[in-house]
Structure 1
Amino acid sequence: MTGTPATTQSPAVTNSPALRTKRISAQVRFETVSVLRNGEQLLLSLILPLGMLVFLAKTPLLDALGAIPHGGDPLIVALPGALSLCLASTAFTGQAIATAFDRRYGVLRQLATTPLGTSGLILGKLGAVIAVIIIQFALAFAIAAVLGFTGPVDVLALVCGTLLGTAALLSLGLLMAGTVRAEATLAGANLIWVLMAGAGGLVIAHPGEWGTLVGYLPSGALGEAMRAALDGAGFDVKAMIVLLVWGLLGTLAARRWFRFE
Structure 2
Amino acid sequence: MNATRVARHAGMELRMLLRNGEQLLLAFAIPLGLVIGGLLWGRQFGLDGNTFPASVIAVAVWSTAFTSLGVATGFERRYGVLERLVATPLTRADLIAGKALAACALVAIQAVLLLAVALGLGWRPDLSPVAALSATTATLLGIVAFAGLGLLLAGTLKAEVTLGLANLIYLAGLALGGLIVDQPPWLPTAALGSALRAAALGAAAPLPLVVLAAWAAVLTLTARRFFRWTS
Alignment pair present for 1:86 and 2:63: no
- Indicate if the aligned counterparts of 1:176 and 1:185 stay in contact, CA closer than 8 A: yes
Alignment partner, residue 230 of structure 1: 200
For residue 151 of structure 1, the aligned residue among 112, 119, 125 is: 125
For residue 199 of structure 1, the aligned residue among 176, 181, 193 is: 176
**Cα displacement (A) at 1:77:** 2.3
Alignment pair present for 1:180 and 2:149: no
1:196-255: CA deviations, max 9, x gaps? 1122111223xxxxx3xx32111111110111111122x211111111111111122212
Q: Which whole-Å CA distance do the structure 2 matches of 1:193 and 1:105 have between them?
A: 24
**Cα displacement (A) at 1:22:** 4.4
Alignment partner, residue 10 of structure 1: none
Please report the RMSD computed on the Cα atoms of aligned residues, expressed in angstroms. 1.7
Other structure's SS at 2:124 match: coil
Alignment pair present for 1:33 and 2:15: yes
**Does 242-251 or 113-122 show the bigger shift?**
113-122
Q: Which whole-Å CA distance do the structure 2 matches of 1:84 and 1:163 have between them?
A: 11
- Indicate if the aligned counterparts of 1:101 and 1:182 stay in contact, CA closer than 8 A: yes
Q: Which whole-Å CA distance do the structure 1 matches of 2:96 and 2:142 have between them?
A: 17
Alignment pair present for 1:241 and 2:210: yes
| Amino acid paired to 1:56 | G
Equivalent residue runs for 1:120-135 within 5 Å = 120-135=94-109
**Cα displacement (A) at 1:63:** 4.9
Equivalent residue runs for 1:1-261 within 5 Å = 21-60=3-42, 62-65=43-46, 67-68=47-48, 74=49, 76-153=50-127, 154-205=131-182, 211=183, 214-233=184-203, 235-261=204-230
- Indicate if the aligned counterparts of 1:100 and 1:181 stay in contact, CA closer than 8 A: yes
Change (3 A) 1:243 1:22: closer
**Cα displacement (A) at 1:117:** 3.4
Change (3 A) 1:160 1:143: same
- Indicate if the aligned counterparts of 1:112 and 1:121 stay in contact, CA closer than 8 A: no
Q: Which whole-Å CA distance do the structure 2 matches of 1:181 and 1:229 have between them?
A: 39
Q: Which whole-Å CA distance do the structure 2 matches of 1:161 and 1:50 have between them?
A: 21
- What TM-score does the superposition give when structure 1 sets the normalisation length? 0.82
Q: Which whole-Å CA distance do the structure 2 matches of 1:189 and 1:197 have between them?
A: 12
Identity of aligned residues (%): 40
| Amino acid paired to 2:156 | T
Change (3 A) 1:23 1:259: closer
Provide structure 2 residue ranges, at least 5 long, that are not aligned to the other structure.
Answer: none
- Indicate if the aligned counterparts of 1:151 and 1:230 stay in contact, CA closer than 8 A: yes
Q: Which whole-Å CA distance do the structure 1 matches of 2:109 and 2:150 have between them?
A: 20
- Indicate if the aligned counterparts of 1:171 and 1:250 stay in contact, CA closer than 8 A: yes
